[in-house]
Amino acid sequence: MLAEEGKIVEGTVSGITNFGAFIDLGEGKTGLVHISEVADDYVKNIHDYLKDKQKVKVKVLSIGKDGKISLSIRQATTKVKKSVRPAEVDWQVKDDESSRLSFDDKISRFMKESEEKMQVLKAKSKSNGRKGNGFRNKM
């Protein structure tokens, strides 16, 4: 198995450390997957993601002049690209309830909902023993 930069190859986990995992690529070649290249998520404990002698697909990130091979499991997995187009909106369709309300009614409803939310927040801040902006006056 020839390791080339950018190529995705299969290997076997041959050792696990706190900072990453060593992957046996065959033909006497071993590379390192840094802990930050194991998964897209934050990896606190690498043992939650990898086991000794586990087969993994890795992407060859770089091959140093000294022969050190840098690998990534995270970049070897195919990712489904999500559409970045915004959702289609039919601006002609009006919401039934809001279309019947006048501007004054909408403002009145907003003010009522806003006041109710403020009362809840004030009650929570009092129960937490805080007043105002949370700063204490010191003399």
Instruction: Give the mean pLDDT of the chain.
Output: 82
Kindly report the CATH number that applies to the domain delimited by 8-72: 2.40.50.140
Q: How many CB atoms lie within 10 A of CB 13?
A: 20
Q: Rounded distance, CA 41 to CA 51, Å?
A: 17
Helix (H) or strand (E) holding 81: none
pTM of the full predicted structure? 0.55
pLDDT the model gives residue 103: 84
Report pLDDT for 51: 94
Please give the angle made by the CA atoms of 83, 85 and 89, to the nearest 5 degrees.
130
Is the confidence at residue 137, as pLDDT, over 80? Answer: no
Per-residue model confidence as pLDDT tens digits over 64-75: 889 899 999 999
Residue among 82, 139, 103, 122 nearest 131 (CA): 122
Give pLDDT, residue 58.
94
